[in-house]
Chains A and B, each alone.
Chain A
Amino acid sequence: MMFGISTRVWLLLAAGAAVLIALPLVVTSSFAIDICIRILMFSFIGVAWNLMGGYAKQLSLGHAAYFGLGAYTSTIMQINYGISPWIGMVAGGVVAMLASLPIGWLCFRLRGPYFTIATIATAQALMLIFLKFRDFAWGAEGTTIPNLGNAPLMMQFEEKAGYYYVALGLLALGLAITYQMEKSWMGYYLVAIGEDEDAAEAIGVNAPRIKRDIYLISSFLTALAGTFYTQYIYFIDPATAFSFNISIEAALVSIVGGIGTLWGPVIGTILLETTSALLQSWLGSSLGGVQLTVYSLILMAVILWRPTGLMGIMTEWYQRLFRRRSVQT
């Protein structure tokens, strides 16, 4: 027993980690590894969203704001001052945390759907700022990141496997934070706030402070993904960095996979990104709208039939299987 995890679970985790680490050695197709990287990155964004949106049920659709701030902070530092994106990544996280304070102050004044709307509006407003101020950050055209060849210290790799390992590390970090939080008083407080904020306050939960704190953590992590993605695609512009689709996918993967669960965002991302990749290879060129049409249908199906998401379905299967076996023996 370590950290309250049984030996069997440790073995499972070790086996899983070994498979994930060995994967790029086996999978050499650039298309396949690209899908793996997307899965890891969106899982990580989902995990970051899930901390606040899943456990505390503060349903943000504005996480693109932090993704974009992370992306722009590290890129500005890199291009204007030659600072490594590894440092820029952490700086971006800090900028995102600082931004989350006033944004949270505004948005948390609202509850339920109006909180969601306020988060959309603040993210869009940030995008408009980056679109308008040309001399500040290249305006609407954006800029390309200079390709330095193989420069791990500048978060650039010749092989896609390098990016794969960075994304894997980020996801591991996100999951570890979620796991620690879930097991501590913080996890209980977050779920309590998500269930009934008044009842939580009545038993001593400082709801505004807890919401602010989890928003800080969630924004920080989301910003890390922003830096990573920009380095991965060698390009930044406001429409990509602050894309509403980032906000949507962060929420969708968590809800489809299982809102407020450790592995939910990962499972949700695997389903959605695989579906998306299949659609892409099936339809060839990207027929505008197909991907999000399918996503929205999956989302509706989950909400109408299984609000606990894929995790809920899997738990049920597992229990049914387990029960049948115990009846037989």
Chain B
Amino acid sequence: MLETVVQAVINGLLIGGIYALVSIGVTLIFGVVKIVNFAQGEFVMIGMYISFYLATQFGMDPIVSLVITMPVLFAAGVLIQHFLIRRVLGPNDMPQIFLTFALSLLLLNLALMLFTANYRTVHTFYSDEAFHIGELNIPVAKLIAFVVAMFLSGALWVFLHTTDLGKAMRAASQNRDVAMLMGINPNRVFCVALGIALALAGAAGSLLMPFYSAYPFVGQVFVLMAFVAVVLGTLGNVIGALVASLMMGVAESLGIQFVGADSGLIVVFAMLLLTLAFKPTGLGGGRAR
């Protein structure tokens, strides 16, 4: 019994690392640009397909393909901020919500047209390997994904706290006017924030590929997790999002273990609804009184 619980917790933490990459991206964009990116999950999906094709066409290992997915998605983030999101930043919610929502719909359905709804997998030499500690079982691919995810989160934290640009982003997320006074070009900061957030989503995609299937709707699972984690972990807060993501992973894993294989989503929704019901008003909306 105890072993089952520990095993479920380990599984949850390992997948929670991937959730963290997506959540940190969402929280970074919300903190700095003050919008919610509904399309964040689709960039995980794009990362997965890039890794899939690099693996099947060029034999590149999905983990190694990080060096391609991350820069490509960083560039995509900069372009999306500069050409799309910049045009809808203003007091109204409607354009912001529905622009990124439209982007999500577009990418998802383009993927459906280009790649069909089939599941794609990449089999690496470590895909089936696992470390065994007593009764416990730690899959290598998930462990690698977790370690790299933690490393990237840590690197982002260092970037935000030590570099001028990172400090500018933190300033922008705390107080827009202060950031303006510091002489920061907001669009440049926003572009970098989008770039980093999308690069993290792409990284999540590559890291998932050795043990998870790519399909057009895959991003929706991750973005829902991320939204819940971000609400749980106080918006705009990187460490909060990280901790909340790990918790979500564990909660989902325990749910699958003890309630049923298809109950993962129910656990997620239950957590979101409980969070909404019991956290004080004002969370999330950012502009609540």
Contacts and interface: CB of A to CB of B under 8 A. Distances in A.
* A touches B in complex, CB < 8 A: yes
Interface of A: 57, 59, 61, 106-107, 109-118, 121-122, 124-125, 128, 132, 198, 248, 251, 255, 259, 287-293, 295-297, 299-300, 303-304, 307
Contacts of B281: 109
B102 A115 contact: no
Contacts, number: 130
A109 B276 contact: yes
A296 B38 CA distance: 13
Given A128-B266, A289-B110, A303-B99, A121 B87 contact: no
Given A107-B276, A259-B94, A307-B94, A288 B36 contact: no
Given A59-B97, A304-B87, A125 B102 contact: no
B103 interface: yes
B84 A118 contact: no
A101 to B, nearest CB: 14
B109 A198 contact: no
Contacts of A124: 224, 265, 269
B152 interface: no
Contacts of B103: 296, 300
A295 B103 CA distance: 11
B227 A289 contact: no
B96 interface: yes
A299 B102 CA distance: 6
B109 A114 contact: no
Contact of A110 (B92, B101, B216, B285): B285
B94 A288 contact: no
21 contacts: A57-B93, A59-B97, A109-B281, A113-B35, A114-B36, A114-B283, A121-B269, A122-B273, A124-B224, A125-B266, A132-B262, A290-B113, A296-B102, A296-B105, A297-B106, A299-B102, A299-B105, A300-B99, A303-B94, A303-B95, A304-B84
B105 A292 contact: yes
Contact of B113 (A61, A121, A293): A293
Contacts of B276: 106-107, 109-110, 118
Greatest chain B CB density within 10 A among A57, A109, A128, A297 is at A109
B88 A110 contact: no
Nearest to B266: A128
A292 B287 contact: no
B116 interface: yes
A117 B101 CA distance: 11
Given A116-B97, A255-B94, A198 B117 contact: no
Given A110-B284, A124-B269, A117 B227 contact: yes
Given A110-B284, A287-B113, A128 B269 contact: yes
Given A255-B94, A288-B116, A113 B36 contact: yes
Contact of A112 (B93, B224, B270): B93
B133 interface: no
A111 B231 CA distance: 12
B36 to A, nearest CB: 4
A114 to B, nearest CB: 4
Contacts of A296: 102-103, 105-106, 109
Contacts of A303: 88, 94-95, 98-99, 102
Contact of B272 (A116, A118, A128, A307): A118
Interface in B20-51: 35-36, 38
B94 A59 contact: yes
B1 interface: no
B53 to A, nearest CB: 19
A303 B266 CA distance: 33
A288 B102 contact: no
Given A109-B276, A110-B284, A112-B287, A117 B105 contact: no
B289 interface: yes
B286 interface: yes
Greatest chain A CB density within 10 A among B117, B265, B269, B287 is at B269
A61 B227 contact: no
Given A113-B93, A289-B112, A299-B98, A125 B269 contact: yes
A252 to B, nearest CB: 8
A251 B93 CA distance: 14
A259 B283 CA distance: 27
A292 B108 CA distance: 9
B181 interface: no
A304 to B, nearest CB: 6
Contacts of B2: none
A194 to B, nearest CB: 9
Greatest chain A CB density within 10 A among B92, B99, B106 is at B106
A295 B95 contact: no
Given A121-B272, A255-B94, 17 more contacts: A106-B273, A106-B277, A107-B276, A110-B288, A113-B93, A118-B272, A121-B227, A124-B224, A248-B105, A289-B109, A297-B102, A299-B102, A300-B84, A300-B99, A300-B106, A304-B84, A304-B99
Nearest to B104: A296
Contacts of A128: 265-266, 269
Greatest chain A CB density within 10 A among B38, B116, B276, B281 is at B276
